[in-house]
Structure formats: C-alpha cells, structure tokens
Amino acid sequence: MAPSLPLRDVKVLDFMWVLAGPGITRMLADYGATVIRVESTGRTDPTRTVGPFQNNRPGTESSALWGNNNAGKFGITLDLSKPEARNVVLDLVRWADLVCEAFSPKAMRAWGFDYESLRKVKPDIIMLSTCLMGQTGPLARFAGFGNLAAALCGFYNLVGWPDRPPSGPFSAYTDYIAPRFGATAVMAALIHHKRTGEGQYIDQAQAESALHFLTLPLLDSVANGRKYSPVANYDPYHAPHGVYPAAGDDRWIAIACRTEEQWQALCRAMKRDGLATDSRFKSLGDRQANQDQLDRIISEWTGRLDGHQAESLLQSSGVPAHVVQNSSDMSDDPQLKHREHFVQVAHPTLGETFVEGSRFKLSRTAAQVERPAPMIGEHGQYVLEKILGYDEERISQLVVDGVLG
C-alpha cells in the first residue's frame, strides 16, 4: 500500500485571497491536507477574473490562474455579514488545525476572526496572516497586489535597460516569492504543534519575506554604499551573457558562458574557432569590454537557427544555453513532461483542464492533485454535512437565510 500523504492529518481553513496566500494552501493540499477555501459572497477573488482563460472565454469559472492556485481545495461561500455565517466559521475553526488568511489586517478583526478570538474557540489553533506589509506599522493597512510590494521592495529598478525607465519584473513578483516562505513558516508551526501541542500566530509580511531575495544588494548598499540600477543582461561572472535572436517571431535563445571552456566550446559550436584567440575576446574582462561586438557576432549566428536546434547543439557542446521558452514551449518541453509538471484534471464544467503539479518531488510520498479548484460555492453542502455534521434541517435553514450566498 502506498504510504499516505505527509499532511493527511492536517485540516486547513483557508481565508486566502488573490495569489500569495492561496499559493501556500495549494502546496499543503498537494501533500494531502484537507483545505476548505472560504469565499465571501460579493467579493469575487480577483484571480477568477484574470487569464489565461480556458478556450479564451473569460468567466469566473474558467481562469487557469484561479485553477492553478486553488487545485485540491474544497470551496464554500459564506455571507460573513450574517451572524449564522459566523457560527459556521467558528465550527470550522474548531475542526481546523490551521487557519490562514490573506485579507488586509483590519478585515479579520472586523469579523471577529482575529487570533485572540479564534484561540478562545480553539486554544491550540495555528493561524497565519499574510498581507503585503504586515499586521503592524504605519503601512500595515496598505493593501494591494504583489506588483506594489515588488515596487516598494526595490525589484523594479533591477529589471531594465540602462537607457530607459525600468521595465520591472513581470506582474506581481512578490506573489511568487511569498508563498514558499509562507509554506515553510506554516510547516515549522505544524512541526512545533506536533511536538508540543502548542498553537501560535504567524504574521507574514510578504514584502519582508521577499526582501530575502535582495539580501545581496541590501548588504552591499549598506556596507559599500553601492548603487544599483538597470543593467539589462550584464553579469559580472559571465560573458557572453545574453539573450540572442533565433529564427521566428519573438524567438530567442539565452546563452551564458562562465568558464573559458564554455567560451571556447561556444566558438567551436559557431565554427568560429578564431574568436577564441581574438584579442578582443580573450578574457572575461575583454569579452565584457567588447560585449556589443561579441553580441552582434553571436546574434548573426543564432538568428539563422531554430532556437531548439541551437539549444541542443550548444548544450551537447557543454555551453549553458536554452530557448527562451514561451507557453507552447513549456507544454512541449520534454523535461517538464518527464517531470509530469503539467497535471490533467477533470473539471465539472470545463471538462479536461490542466494545472501545474508540485514544484518538487518527494520520493516516497509523491504529491497528488486530488481535485480541480472549486467552483464558487461548490462544496457548501459537502462541508456542512460531511465535515461539520450539520443535519438537513440546519443546512436548509442556512440556505434559506442566504448564509451560503
């Protein structure tokens, strides 16, 4: 018999929102946790309204972004303005080991679902609050998306061309850093609970987690007074180091040579052995000083080639190179196929759809995507009946009273 999933005994009440929060509970669901995602009526999760959409048809049930972040969870909607909804939540708190929320700091307090209130109901509850800037401080109430935290953290000025305003990272960058830290924090708290029986409160400021990805410039800035500004694809340890055109529209190949061997292998692969001894390109410093000339020579060569063929040729010669993958390259990538990175799931209305699988492999207890992301209110009946054990009469009353939205 296959061993049961690592978090099979973990029950999670999920008040997450948008991207950074749901990413945490998605990871827990992959490894067996029972996650009940509560959606509030009248507050559509923004990710339900952002693409990519299945068959390019926008709608609150067709977003692959929502689907990817919430796969494996059960979903219930509650009208939290109603007192009966509050009782349902408190019953769910009694059921849960872990409550996670990603609203702005005032929202949970306003509903009476702050940690102090919840621990009165369940003394050993673990609660994680995750928001942009943290629960305290002058910017605690500054709510928004990961692009805003990324701007405040200094990520924008690190992506760009020296002759232009910064391009900034793609979309909501801190939303792709924070969930990993949040999941690590939650796991530490679950381990602590298992050992001591003690619950606790965790305050995650997504910006404070994300700044760990900028430790180097932050230390350098204080210690050396160094300034950081956009440098396009320059790297102190690699030359050539860049993105070169391949044949086709918006097709590119990334090439990065760190060692002399890699540089010489690149020259051989381009059938330009003379370049390796060319005084303009002899050392790393020479190649960096004459980067524009070198980039032109490489671009002339790559521009005629199919990117995938160039990648194979270069990698088989020992040169770090890869096609700059777009979404169709990703779905065709033999490595991602081998890793079963994309997982097919059957959805009640979309039919067969796809999510990304766990981003790591556990050899003995592999992750599973047990169900697609919930449709709005999909598991209300299931949660009330099977998980909370409410009788039919009580459930009907909740429906009649509009508690389920």
Partner 1 sequence: MLSPCRVLDLTTERGFLCGQLLGDLGADVIKVEPPGGSIARSLEPFFGDQPGPDRSIYWWSYNRNKRGITLDIQSEHGREILHRLVRDTDILIESENPGAMTARHLGYDDLRRINPALVYVSITPFGQDGPKAGYADSDLIIMAAGGVLILYGDEDRAPIRMSIPQAYLHACVDAGAAALIAYYERLNSQLGQHVDVAAQESVALAAQSVPLTGLVHGDDTRRMAGGVKMGPIRVPLVWEARDGQVSCVFLFGTALGQFTRKFVDYLYREGACDKAMHETDWIGYGGKLLSGEEPMEAYEHVKGVVAAFFKSKTKMELFEIAREHNFLIAPVATIDDVLRNPQFIARDYWQEIKQPEAAVTLRYPGPFARFSTKPIEYRRRPPAVGEHNHEVFVGDLGLSESEFRELARKGII
| 248 binds partner 1 per the rule CB under 8 A | no
Confirm or reject binding of residue 184 to partner 1 (CB under 8 A): yes
185 binding partner 1? (CB under 8 A)? yes
CA distance 233 to 216: 18
Q: Where does this chain touch partner 1 (CB under 8 A) — which range of 1-9, 90-98, 384-392, 393-401?
A: 1-9
- Binding partner 1 (rule: CB under 8 A), the pick from 110, 237, 348, 391 is 237
Name the 3-class secondary structure at 129: strand
Alpha carbon separation from 359 to 16, 147, 163, 297 (Å, rounded): 20, 23, 36, 37
Of the candidate spans 70-78, 84-92, 245-253, 286-294, the one that interacts with partner 1 by CB under 8 A turns out to be: 245-253
Residues touching partner 1, count (CB under 8 A): 166
362 touches partner 1 by CB under 8 A? yes
CA pair distance 271, 35, nearest whole angstrom: 57
Most distant CA atoms of the chain, gap in Å? 86
Restricting to residues 30-69, which ones interact with partner 1 according to CB under 8 A?
Answer: 31, 43-46, 48-56, 58, 60, 64-65, 68-69
Is there binding between residue 346 and partner 1 (CB under 8 A)? no
User: How many CB atoms are located within 10 Å of the residue 345 CB?
Assistant: 17
- Backbone φ, ψ for residue 118 (5° rounding): -70, -35
User: Given the complex with partner 1, which of 15 and 173 has the nearer CB atom?
Assistant: 173
* Contact pick of 124, 359, 386, 391 for partner 1 (by CB under 8 A): 359
Binding residue for partner 1 (CB under 8 A) from 12, 99, 102, 183?
A: 183
Which tokens go with 328? Answer: 């169709």
275, 297 in Cβ contact below 8 A?
yes
Contacts of 219 (CB under 8 A, 6+ apart): none
Q: Which stretch binds partner 1 (CB under 8 A): 83-91, 95-103, 160-168, 386-394?
A: 160-168
- Residue 142 and residue 131: Cα distance in Å, rounded? 9
Structure tokens at 32: 């067996």
Residue 50 or 388 having the CB closest to partner 1:
50
Q: Which of residues 304-323 bind partner 1 (CB under 8 A)?
A: 315, 318-323
Q: For residues 22 and 380, which CB has a smaller minimum distance to partner 1 in the complex? A: 22
Question: Between residue 257 and residue 276, which ones bind partner 1 under the rule CB under 8 A?
Answer: 258, 262
Rounded to 10 degrees, the C-alpha dihedral 259/264/265/269 comes to 140
